[in-house]
Amino acid sequence: MAEKKIKDEGESGEVREQIIKIILAGGLFVGSFFAGGALKLALLIIAYVIVGAEVIFNAAKELIREHSIDEEFLMSIATVGAFAIGESTEAVAVMLFYSVGELLEDIACERSRRSITALLALRPDKITLKRGGELVSVPLEEAKAGDIAVAVAGERIAVDGIIIKGETSLDNSALTGESVPISAGVGDPVFGGGINASGTIEIKITKPYGESSAARILELVENAQEKKAKTERFITRFARKYTVIVVALALFIAFVCPIFTGYAETFVSWLYKGLTLLVVSCPCAFVISVPLSFFAGIGCASKNGILIKGTSSIETLSKLKAVALDKTGTLTKGELSVVSYTGGEEALRLAAHAESRSTHPIAKAIVKAYGKVDDGIIEEATEQAGKGVTAKIGEDEVFVGKCDGEAEGLAVAVIKNGEEIGKIFLKDELKPDSAAAISSLRALGVEEIAMLSGDRLSAAEDIAKKVGITDVRAELQPEGKCAELEKLKARGAAAFVGDGINDAPVLAMADVGAAMGGLGSDAAIETADVVILDDKLSRLPTAVKISKKTIKIVYECVAFALLAKLAVIVAELFGFAGMWAAVFADVGVTILAILNALRALNYKAK
């Protein structure tokens, strides 16, 4: 973390240095208009060296070490050539405005990056630990798994852990995008980056900061550019070849065209045209705006509780044709709850006491439905995996186990002293936003939506009917899900949405794997391309909307830059434009492209 802080300070220092250079050079440039002769030339040369020396050095280094030419090479040749033909004022103007464009690019990129890091609200430098009955404030790096941390009301939680004392409400909006605080007490997890909104709590640390959810999510977002989109990779390759072509064309215009025209006295004017072409053709606008647009799109998604781990996923999301979804934990809450029971309160009471020592989801749901149990009346309890629980409660022998239930749920029988006295029916509740999410995906152009579930067909069909899915493929093992997804991929780009743990194989093979509720799941963060941090399926269509908007902005930036440059090139060849127009077509268009790219960061998906 110290390295990151140094990096941030270094970037800010570079921006300040750029600003100082531009102010100094700009002052000398303006002063040259009030001077004449040798003084004017001296002022222009000094101004040029201030803003242009580093550009020329970088261009020469790239040419010598990498044997390649880039936009800095174009700027260097064009401006040095302009000095050679006596156009020193225009030479300085080109380099000065180019530097202004580079400064604005750096500021825009830093703004985009900071908007992402701000989502996770930079960690505190100190953490309060409980040691030997005393509270001690220590550097965050010293906190380790097993330590007891104390967080007071209003304090940002620094690390992942489990609450061992106290109750509070947690504001995880910086992590999940969810603005409503959640209640938490003993046994509940907390995550670094969230805010302790009310009471004082004690937390048993499960992971040091460097391994916490917040730190890992932030690292993944900042490294998202490593997984570049096809469009971005194409622009990078295109820019390299484009620059070589531009240089060759400029040489042809400057040295060959005068020969064909037969007018030796026009050599300087043709050279001027060639140099102008170098300036106007600089690929800065699309080389800068395309990656910046993608990065801004990732930032926008993060604001909405969606972690997109690479720009390639944005491109794929924008053209989704098929989506496959798991049932449990994706369309449903993944938590069983008691919906009804027979046999009255006695059946529920006995079942809750019998199940109270089990950690099975069915047991937890029954105990939750009943309330607090009296452990003193439970003499013994034995659990048989896959069958049920046998317990002696007071004078009664009680067995609670699965039996035939409703088509859309499951049931357990309550047997007292060998006689069934009732049944308890449980269901996995549907998430409130599932149906709306499916409808939104269809409206966004997703042609095929299927459920791939390992559950019974009847249970899967019941949930599918409620959310509007007609293609149901149930009772599937992981390899079966992979096979079914492969069929869906024939339609085009296909996404799979699952819980990130059981569905790791199919998440990995999907064009885009989206994991639900990944905040506390290492498997989700590692496996999926997209992590929906707050477990809301409605975030998926939001991610698609953001991706479509981002791609639209990318195309706008590229088209605008190319058309503007082409217009100035044509005008310049016919004598209607000069170096100043070229400066606008380069720097001006770059600035407009940057501003357009940043629209992706502020896009509000509805």
Question: Which residues are known to be catalytic?
Answer: 326
Residues 93, 99, 100, 106: what is their CA dihedral angle, to the nearest 10 degrees?
A: 170
Say which amino acid occupies 384.
Q
Q: Which residues contact 188 (CB under 8 A, 6 or more apart)?
A: 162, 163
The helix (run of H) or strand (run of E) holding residue 570 is helix 539-573
Question: Is the Cβ–Cβ distance between 62 and 548 less than 8 Å?
Answer: no
d(CA 350, CA 362): 14
Q: What is the distance of C-alpha 126 from the center of its chain?
A: 27
d(CA 414, CA 366): 11
- List the structure tokens of 250: 């400029």
Residues 530, 531, 532, 533: what is their CA dihedral angle, to the nearest 10 degrees?
A: -150
Query: What is the b/e burial string over 236-260, where b = at least 16 CB atoms within 10 angstroms of the residue's CB?
Result: eeebeebbeebbeebeebbeebbee
Q: Which residue has the tokens 């750096």?
A: 106
CA angle 261, 263, 264 (to 5 degrees): 125
Q: Which residues contact 141 (CB under 8 A, 6 or more apart)?
A: 1, 208, 209
Question: Is the Cβ–Cβ distance between 400 and 351 less than 8 Å?
Answer: yes
Question: Which DSSP category does 440 fall into?
Answer: H
In DSSP notation, 486-522 reads HHHGGGSEEEEEE-SSTTHHHHHHSSEEEEESGGG-H
CB atoms within 10 A of CB 454: 17
Pick from 439, 437, 443, 403: nearest CA to 420? 403
Strands (E), 312-416: 320-325, 332-341, 378-384, 388-393, 396-403, 410-416
